[in-house]
Amino acid sequence: MAHAYVFPGQGSQFSGMGKNLYESHPASKDLFEQANEILGFRISEIMFNGSDEDLKQTNVTQPAVFLHSVIAFKTLENPRPAMVAGHSLGEFSALVANEALSFESTLMLVSIRAQAMQRACEMNPSTMAAVLALADEKVEEICQAVTTETGEVVVAANYNCPGQLVISGTIKGINIACERMKAAGAKRALVLPVGGAFHSPLMMPAKEELAAAIDATHFNTPICPVYQNVVAKAVSDPAEIKRNLIDQLTGAVRWTQSVQHMIADGATRFTEAGPGKVLQGLVQKINKEMLVDGVS
């Protein structure tokens, strides 16, 4: 019976996040203050008292979700992960949990990633859309057809669970693809309120910037495997972890496949550490037999 720990990504933030951890766990206060110092602004104040709009700023959102997730994990008494995974940004939290990276160095990488992604979004106006109740293969086929016929970038970006896939690309390309998805039988094809085409080739400028930072960062041999988004399988080699973490910015989040491989490798319980319960819901949609819980 293997215990897996999973960590959420951008979109799980909420006003007041982490305040309960700060107030109820003395060690958490030190980590929040350390984060404020590393980032150069009081992210704790924004997390505890900021508006939803304040928390939507990418340079705040990503460090905030990371910070909440890692601190929530560290409040657990002697956690013994057999395997870890994170959804997009959450992969950085997972790499702290399995001790591949230190808290300090990862927070710096998350900050660099957030700022680089923001700049990439400003360079290439773009967006994402959720497609419901259409086979993955059909979604991929339509994305490829739109790209080939129009020259617009449209790719499958997040394989969240069976029947829920997020696509990413230029605004024009996504709008065309959404119409075709609905015509092909999708229950919904809904453009999301995001500022860019994450996990697509349009993130290439950010990938290059992040790659330099990751290459300069020391990674340890982890205490357990991480199931990385772009390969959806167990990885323990630090050099391979680095490569996959870099490729993640322009590659797909294969969450469905990752969870399926974790279950095949013995996972019977999934604990989500961080804000919200999104991943708990996705795990149960992937396999309803799994035990799921969370710490936030």
230-242, pLDDT tens digit by residue? 999 999 999 999 9
Please, what's the b/e burial string for 122-159 (b: 16 or more CB within 10 A of its CB; e: otherwise)? eebebbbbbbeebebebbbebbeebbeeeebbbbbbbb
17 or 124: which leads in pLDDT = 17
pLDDT at position 152, please?
A: 97
CA 114 vs. chain centroid, Å, equals: 12
Expressed as residue numbers, the domain containing 24 is: 2-122+201-295
Catalytic residue among 28, 44, 126, 199: 199
Segment 246-267 mean pLDDT: 98
* Cα–Cα distances in angstroms (integers) from residue 52 to residues 11, 64, 122, 235, in the given order: 11, 12, 21, 35
Q: Which of 172, 191, 210 is at the close of a domain? A: 191
For residues 229 and 91, is the Cβ–Cβ distance under 8 A?
yes
pLDDT band (50, 70, 90) for residue 56: confident
Is 68 assigned a catalytic role?
A: no
pLDDT at position 193, please?
A: 82
- The pLDDT of residue 53 is above 90: no
Q: Distance between CA atoms of 144 and 147, rounded to whole angstroms? A: 5
- The pLDDT of residue 125 is above 90: no
Claim to verify: residue 212 and residue 175 sit in the same structural domain: no
| 36 three-state secondary structure | helix
| 77 three-state secondary structure | coil
- The pLDDT of residue 78 is above 90: no
C-alpha closest to that of 288 among 157, 162, 135:
162
What is the tens place of the pLDDT at every residue in 204-222?
Answer: 999 999 999 999 999 999 9
pLDDT band (50, 70, 90) for residue 95: very high
Catalytic residue among 12, 28, 88, 258: 88
pLDDT band (50, 70, 90) for residue 167: very high
**pTM to 2 decimal places:** 0.95
Q: Is residue 196 part of a domain?
A: no
Segment 266-274 mean pLDDT: 97
| 248 three-state secondary structure | coil
Claim to verify: residue 132 and residue 117 sit in the same structural domain: no
Q: Which of 191, 217, 233 is at the close of a domain? A: 191
- The pLDDT of residue 137 is above 90: yes
CATH number at residue 155: 3.30.70.250
Is 102 assigned a catalytic role?
A: no
CATH number at residue 70: 3.40.366.10
